[in-house]
Amino acid sequence: MTNEQQKAIDFFNRYNKKNEEQEKNNKISKSTFLKRTDKVFNKDFKGFDYQVGDKKFRFNVKDVAKVKETQSDLNNFLNKFVGEDNRTMEDAAGYHKSLFTAMNADAVARHFYEQGKSDAIKNTVAKDKNINLDPRKTHGETEVGGVKYRVLGNSANDFKFKIKSKNKK
């Protein structure tokens, strides 16, 4: 065998050995991941907890088996953002938004919780002040305590009024 042939055979053997080790490591990693996933999505799983300040909120998951199956393969997440060729990123904004939300889940939950509290306070304050945004009536009749008032003029210069009492004697 020539020196070049021996080098080619050695390279091929090293390549195969490296490939076998990598496949073995991949199988171990996948097995560990699936076991840990099974521990998360066990029979007692109710949903995901989010820490918002000193409070904890739970987001319930309706179809646990489907969520478990979908999240057991990272490609299911990535495929939402790539094109039909499965190689080019089509929705970069959606990808980064989703990844940011995933990496900052408690902070995002806290933001929307605080926003909801702020909106509730604004609504309560508006109701408590009893603000009536209906336009005022400038003309017409008003009846107060049995006495009827009617505006007769259109400006302050010709302002006149009549008082009619229902209790005539």
- Listing DSSP states for 114-165 in one string gives HHHHHHHHHHHHHHHTT---SPPP-SSEEEETTEEEEE--SSSTT--EEEEE
Q: How many CB atoms lie within 10 A of CB 108?
A: 14
Domain ranges, ordered by start, for the chain: 1-40, 135-169
Q: pTM above the 0.75 mark?
A: no
Residue 118: DSSP 8-state: H
Tell me what pLDDT residue 124 has. 83
154 has a pLDDT exceeding 90 = no
51 has a pLDDT exceeding 60 = yes
Whether 61 and 53 have beta carbons less than 8 Å apart is answered as no
Tell me what pLDDT residue 49 has. 93
pLDDT range class, residue 133, cuts 50, 70, 90: low
Tell me what pLDDT residue 155 has. 64
Mean pLDDT over all residues of the chain? 84
Write the CB contacts of 152 (distance below 8 Å, at least 6 apart in sequence).
159, 160, 161, 162
- Torsion, Cα of 8, 12, 17, 22 (10° steps): 120
Whether 151 and 136 have beta carbons less than 8 Å apart is answered as no
Calculate mean pLDDT across residues 99-124: 90
Q: How many CB atoms lie within 10 A of CB 152?
A: 10
104 has a pLDDT exceeding 60 = yes
pLDDT, one tens digit per residue, over 55-78 is: 899 999 999 999 999 999 999 999
